[in-house]
Amino acid sequence: LQERLGSVFDKLKRRGALSEADVTAALREVRVALLEADVALPVVKDFVEKVKVEAVGQNVLKSVTPGQMVIKIVNDQLAAMLGADHVGLNLQVTPPAVIMMVGLQGSGKTTSTAKISKRLTEKERKKVLMASLDVRRPAAQEQLRVLGEQIAVRTLNIVPGEQPVAIAKRAVQTAALEGFDVVMLDTAGRLAIDEELMAEVAAVRDAAKPAETLLVADAMTGQDAVNVADTFNQKVGLTGIVMTRMDGDARGGATLSMRAVTGCPIKLMGVGEKLDELEDFHPSRVASRILGMGDIVSLVEKASENFELEEAEKLAAKIQKGKFDLNDLGSQLKQMQKMGGLSSLMNMLPGMNAGQMKKLKDAKLDDSIIKRQLAILSSMTPLEREKPEVIKAKRRTRIAGGSGTSVQEVNKLLKQHQEAARMMKKVQKMGKKGMMRGGLQ
Ligand code: GDP
Ligand code: MG
């Protein structure tokens, strides 16, 4: 994707804001990348629309290309869609808290049941009881029992011929009687979704009243992800998703699909076959992975941090030389628009006292005024901005007309600039005095 976006944007000149055409061109490539990452088509469509709205008109940071900028925006939106932050398991119920694991056959339910049990036992010192409700596959209950031995977690004893709902009830009863904190129910799966499976899982849910119903899904699930997640959510009701095989080649597009259709947080992810290979789900990391370009994202993040600092430092340096023209006022206004104040700029200047700081802060203007003032400044010629003293009555009328403002507003801005320039001179002198004093003593 990076290369393709690169070629799209090599053709475009760098410009201030992302235009709709820029964004549309870039998003065409993003769409292909998301489909390649196995995100389901309807989810891709929605997502692309959302990003478009977000991206058009955003400014391109100086040290990055428009292509990189779009990637950052796409990445941020992806992370936002995947969930703002990591959401943990909710076990805040009267014990025993029941966690029911559901999903298709082979998705990793049994393995994840053991992984979560191990984690709860070792990290959170919970007393966990595991029970397999998979009575269809002959070895399934035995599989969980063996895993339980490996991680030293109790499994409910197996009663031949017992049905899933009865096993679930017995597990909860046993846990209540023997003081377990958590009951893990490992349900049976099918190769594909069917009515019988849904009915069985719903019956277990009604009997066990789980605090968490976790859909276990393979990260390799492709276009089917929406269907699987949606059906389980509709028929059983999900509280979270466990994404397995995140250690494989899959880019994890299923995470986005499933999150989008269910609205459920992805709570955990399996990253290997071993029982300690379970991790918290981190939306931003997975977002970069889906896009496959984490390095670009961090580059742009860095650029946006540096940008504000750079601008402020440049201005501070100019002021210290005693120069403060309307261009400087313009970048100051833009800065104010961004940061909502002058404080960070002022902090870089020597010799400002609290009273002066306050005065400047009080002069802080609201956004619409700043916008009008920036319009006035952009209606001036470069000469006028560099040498404001040339702006006499005629020019003021022209500038007001060009910016759709009034002559009074232009006058006010010029006056404001004069005041600011005077203040800057003072600051500069104070800075010098301070330095001399320091140097001579
Ligand atoms: P179930 O049918 O849903 O209970 O699936 P299982 O738990 O039996 O897992 C099926 C296979 O997937 C087993 O071979 C597991 O070792 C493997 N597996 C489960 N989770 C992961 C994972 O996160 N990464 C990898 N690489 N393999 C996994
Ligand atoms: Mg199983």
Atom of ligand 1 nearest to the CA of 103: 3
Q: Which ligand is nearest to the CA of 103?
A: 1
CB of 273 shorter than 6 A to ligand 1 = yes
Q: Is 143 annotated to bind ligand?
A: no
CATH architecture, range 321-440: Orthogonal Bundle (1.10)
Most ligand 1 atoms within 8 A of CB, residue of 193, 244, 277 to mutate: 244
Protein residues with C-beta less than 5 angstroms from the ion ligand 2: 109-110
Strand order in the sheet with 212-218: 154-155, 128-132, 182-186, 97-102, 212-218, 240-244, 266-270, 278-280
Whether 108 has a binding-site annotation, put simply, is yes
Q: Report whether residue 109 contacts ligand 1, using a CB cutoff of 6 Å.
A: yes
Ligand 1 mean position, distance from CA 41 (Å):
26
ipTM of the prediction: 0.99
User: Does residue 155 have a pLDDT over 70?
Assistant: yes
The upper half-sphere exposure of residue 120, i.e. CA atoms within 13 Å in the direction of its Cβ, equals 26
The response to whether residue 243 sits with its C-beta less than 6 Å from ligand 1 reads no
Q: Average the pLDDT over 166-176 and give the result.
A: 97
Q: Is 441 annotated as a binding residue?
A: no
Whether 2-84 shares its CATH topology with 97-281 is answered no
Domain boundaries, the chain: 2-84, 97-281, 321-440
What string of H, E and C letters represents the secondary structure of the chain?
A: CHHHHHHHHHCCCCCCECCHHHHHHHHHHHHHHHHHCCCCHHHHHHHHHHHHHHHCCCECCCCCCHHHHHHHHHHHHHHHHHCCCCCCCCCCCCCCEEEEEECCCCCCHHHHHHHHHHHHHHHHCCCEEEEECCCCCCCHHHHHHHHHHHHCCEECCCCCCCCHHHHHHHHHHHHHHHCCCEEEEECCCCCCCCHHHHHHHHHHHHHHCCCEEEEEEECCCCCCHHHHHHHHHHHCCCCEEEEECCCCCCCCHHHHHHHHHHCCCEEEEECCCCCCCEEECCHHHHHHHHHCCHHHHHHHHHHHHHHHHHHHHHHHHHHHCCCCCHHHHHHHHHHHHHHCCCHHHHCCCCCCCHHHHHHHHHCCCCHHHHHHHHHHHHCCCHHHHHCHHHCCHHHHHHHHHHHCCCHHHHHHHHHHHHHHHHHHHHHHHHHHHHHHHHHHC
pLDDT band at 241 (very low <50, low <70, confident <90, very high): very high
106 lines ligand 1 (CB under 6 A): yes
C-alpha–C-alpha distance, residues 230 and 235, integer Å = 9
Residue 409 predicted with pLDDT over 80: yes
Q: What percent of the chain has pLDDT over 90?
A: 46
Q: Where are the alpha helices (DSSP H) in 190-252?
A: 195-208, 225-235
Strand pairing category for 266-270 and 278-280: antiparallel
pLDDT at 346: 47
pLDDT digits (tens, 9 = 90+) for 315-338: 677 766 767 788 888 877 776 666
Ligand 1 contact, 187 CB (< 6 A): no
For ligand 1, say whether the CB of 113 is within 6 Å of any of its atoms: no
- Residue 189 CB less than 6 A away from ligand 1: yes
Class for the domain spanning 2-84: mainly alpha
| Superfamily name with CATH number, domain 97-281 | P-loop containing nucleotide triphosphate hydrolases (3.40.50.300)
pTM recorded for the entire structure = 0.67
